[in-house]
Amino acid sequence: MADQKQKGEGFRKLHAGEPFVIPNPWDAGSARVLAALGFKALASTSSGFAFTLGRLDGNVTLDEVVDHARVLDRATDLPVSVDLENGYGADPKHAALAITRVAEAGAVGGSIEDYDPSGHLYDLDRAAERIAAAAEAAHRLAFPFTLTARAENHIRDHPDLDDTIARLQAFEAAGADVLFAPGLRTREEIRAVCEAVTRPVNVLALGGMSFAEIVEAGAQRVSVGGGLTWVAVNAMAAAAREIHDRGDFSVLGASSPLRDWFA
């Protein structure tokens, strides 16, 4: 197994090399499958993890996320970045603490967003202050820790591209290593963001746009968020509905090559 320093260095190199997909497992089993399929790094999904606890997104604690980060890190030899939502507190010190805690659990990356779960976006200066505190905590670590800063406008009913770009530029100046604005919908939006900053940009995958198209617009990293979780959940629910409504157990015929994936 690679040690944390090696994982951190490897994760940094990925951001300096060819664009790549970073899929989002929701538990140890999905992490091992994704590793077996050849992906080079993993990122947690807050919504997918919340689902495993029987909750909606935004209803987990930092302690629970730290335990989850530890589970994902130990499941494979891949670098793990953790979705830390807003850092589980509005004060910059909360963002810094969240980084430190998941780093202690084995993560080599993490994201901090500018949306407060009480229902509002932090103003730009406050948001940048929180990223600066997280960056300072990350840079104090004894290994490379890749901090992703998220501007949530486009998934929080405020699709103001100019404000999103201004936020990402402020986050870059505050020390973020990767910039992320989930909810960008077009190649033009992605290109505008990528051309406005100098740090690598993560883009949330779109069903109607291929990896090649997203990369052509300037993205360095493409994540899927909770998407794979919902593919799995919807498949389970569809099969269960056939059983419940029709008594049809034929949906249970398929098996998975777990011995190969978990070898």
Write the pLDDT tens digit of every residue in 94-111.
999 999 999 999 999 999
pLDDT of residue 1: 73
Contact assessment for residue 78 and residue 43, using Cβ atoms and an 8 Å cutoff: no
- Give the Cα separation of 196 and 141 in Å (integer): 29
pLDDT tens-digit readout, 115-145: 999 999 999 999 999 999 999 999 999 999 9
pTM of the entire predicted model: 0.97
Q: What is the pLDDT of residue 38?
A: 98
Locate 206 and state its tokens.
């779109």
The phi and psi torsions of 174 (rounded to 5 degrees) equal -80, -10
**Confidence band (pLDDT; 50, 70, 90) for 52?**
very high
CA atoms within 13 A of residue 80's CA, in its CB half-sphere: 35
User: What tens digit of pLDDT does each residue of 152-182 get?
Assistant: 999 999 999 999 999 999 999 999 999 999 9
Taking the C-alpha atoms of residue 169 and residue 35, their distance in angstroms, rounded to an integer, is 33
